[in-house]
């Protein structure tokens, strides 16, 4: 009798799947119904899970669209280091503090500006508008930072940006010096 070296497939429950993908629960379940993601495996009368390899395969096919800036940085670090991003030792990189997908104390919370700073260092003599890293180039995958290269979140439109700015200004006016926290005000003027 030969020993079985085949590892059993790891199954992920819904919270573990949601931690790996850039979608909320309702959008993910809609994509399952549409056939983008696989149907779950039934574990019992009220329990389901998804095979890890199938979720990973779908995520490799889907480009890094609509990821938060923090997830973009963590994805970039994983691709750059080709392994667990937490093990990276290049402390001179502007992404180093964020490599684990968290914002450490004392680090800038303006992640879009951090990405813009990285892009400016990547192409110092070139205007970021003309950056060609957003598509496949010489067999390399598209850069996950590319959508944020201009220093703006491309998934937040001018109306939302202005509404957030007005809300923040309103909070400052209403609360005055009694504000519990200072809201972030986007310095860029609406388009």
Query: How many degrees, rounded to 5, is the angle at CA 144 between CA 140 and CA 150?
Result: 115
If pLDDT is split at 50, 70 and 90, which confidence band does 62 have?
low
- Shortest CA distance to 122 belongs to which of 148, 102, 86, 97? 148
Which of 27-36, 58-67, 83-92, 148-157 has maximum average pLDDT?
Answer: 27-36
pLDDT in tens, 76-126: 887 777 666 567 788 888 888 888 778 888 888 888 888 888 888 777 666
- Shortest CA distance to 79 belongs to which of 36, 124, 133? 133
Which of 6-15, 36-45, 181-190 has maximum average pLDDT?
Answer: 36-45
The radius of gyration of the chain's CA atoms, rounded to the nearest angstrom, is 21
The CA distance from 191 to 188, in Å, is 9
43 secondary structure, DSSP code: E
- In the chain, how long is the greatest CA-to-CA distance? 77
Contact 54/95 with Cβ under 8 angstroms? no
């Amino acid at each position: 009798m030969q020993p079985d070296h085949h590892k059993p497939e790891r199954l992920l429950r819904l919270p573990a799947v949601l931690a790996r993908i850039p979608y909320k629960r309702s959008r993910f379940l809609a994509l399952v119904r549409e056939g983008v993601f696989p149907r779950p495996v039934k574990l019992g009368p009220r329990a389901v899970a998804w095979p890890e390899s199938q979720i990973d395969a779908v995520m490799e096919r889907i480009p890094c669209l609509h990821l938060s800036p923090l997830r973009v940085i963590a994805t970039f670090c994983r691709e750059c280091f080709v392994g667990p991003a937490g093990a990276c030792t290049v402390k001179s990189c502007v992404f180093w503090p964020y490599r684990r997908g968290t914002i450490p104390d004392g680090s800038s919370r303006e992640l879009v500006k951090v990405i813009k700073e990285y892009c400016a260092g990547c192409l110092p003599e070139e205007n970021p508008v003309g950056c060609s890293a957003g598509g496949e180039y010489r067999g390399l995958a598209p850069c996950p930072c590319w959508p944020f290269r201009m220093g703006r979140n491309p998934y937040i439109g001018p109306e939302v940006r202005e509404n957030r700015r007005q809300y923040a200004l309103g909070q400052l006016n209403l609360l005055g010096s009694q504000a519990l926290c200072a809201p972030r005000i986007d310095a860029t003027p609406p388009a």
